[in-house]
Amino acid sequence: MSEVIVITSGKGGVGKSTTTANLGVGLAMRGKKVVLIDTDTGLRNLDLLLGLENRIMYDLIDVVEGRVEIKKALVRHKKYENLQLLPTSQVKDKSAVNPADLMVLCDELRKEYDFVLIDCPAGIEQGFQTAIAGADTAIVVTMPEVSAVRDADKIIGELGRSEKDNIKLIINRIRPAMVDSGEMMDMDDINDILAIKCIGQVPDDIKVVTSANRGEPVVGDSDSQAGKAYENIVGRLLGEDIPFMEFEKEGFFKKLMKAFKFSKD
């Protein structure tokens, strides 16, 4: 059974594309056939996060306007052959695709792939309506900051109005030290506020930035807390019962080691 999942957030900059890239690679590492669709037309980035920016020949707009077949537009991942990307156009705008186009496309891809992940643009305008049209499940990405949580609530409301009732939450960029000192909301706080099933909490991790710099999502990196968190989310998407991780605290000793460069991270 294949599943179409849209990754959305409302607010920009909370990590939708990063989440899409990591879940896509993570699912492919587990042997699943995965296709990622970038619907952030005009602001495409998923190609860059996956290191595929130099391989793009055609895009989503070419496909929906019938210039090329889907298969021709898909870009195969260098390392994981069962992972494909359908990039979007960097020059057109979001009105170039409509919800009906996406529904047709998703139904077509569903036949061949185990997972279709759709990277949604920020906002609640037409681009959002298009991105969610063909999805069975929505993953809402938020951050423990007031504006991101409020926008997530708005998105959850909009999803409900569009009869997308299978909604899951990922809390990104948690800073454990701030949570410990009470200066940041934790998963339970955000659960209380949004009342949506949380399938992952991802700590703020410099490796997310450094791996994006190289175009290699962090999910396979066992030294990275965020990488581990994404692996856990992938497992939960596959129906595994994985407990939420305790974040590593950077204690005095580790800081001292770091100061003398004895520690590799």
Partner 1 sequence: MLDSLKRIFSHESSGKVAKKRLQMVLIQDRASVSPEVMEKLRDDIIQVISKYMIIDKTDMEISLENVDDSVALVANIPVHTMRHQK
| Helices 146-161 and 187-194: angle between axes, nearest 10 degrees | 40
Q: Is 105 in the site for partner 1 (CB under 8 A)?
A: no
Q: Of residues 150, 207, 236, 254, which one binds partner 1 by CB under 8 A?
A: 150
Region near partner 1 per CB under 8 A, out of 31-39, 100-108, 113-121, 149-157 = 149-157
List phi, psi (to 5°) of 53. Answer: -65, -20
* C-alpha to C-alpha distance for 145 and 160, rounded to whole angstroms: 23
# binding residues, partner 1 (CB under 8 A): 19
Pairing of strands 137-142, 34-38: unpaired
Residue 198 binding partner 1, by CB under 8 A: no
The sign one gets for the Cα dihedral 120, 121, 124, 130 is negative
Out of 149, 174, 198, 212, the only residue in the binding site for partner 1 (CB under 8 A) is 149
The nearer residue to partner 1, 183 or 246, going by C-beta atoms, is 183
193 binds partner 1 (CB under 8 A): yes
Q: Which of 66, 146, 240, 264 binds partner 1 (CB under 8 A)?
A: 146
* CA atoms of 57 and 87, how far apart (whole Å): 9
Q: Which of 13, 81, 157, 206 binds partner 1 (CB under 8 A)?
A: 157
- Is residue 197 part of the contact set for partner 1 (CB under 8 A)? no
- Segment contacting partner 1 (CB under 8 A): 12-20, 108-116, 184-192, 206-214? 184-192
**C-beta closer to partner 1: residue 134 or 144:** 144
229: contact with partner 1 by CB under 8 A? no
Token pair for residue 213?
């710099």
What single-letter DSSP state applies at residue 114? S
Residue identified by tokens 């290699």 is 216
Please choose, from the candidates 97, 119, 109, the residue with its C-alpha nearest in 3D space to the C-alpha of residue 16.
119
Q: Which residues pair with 169 in a beta bridge?
A: 140, 198
Q: Which residues bind partner 1 (CB under 8 A)?
A: 144-146, 149-150, 153-154, 157, 178-179, 181-186, 189, 192-193
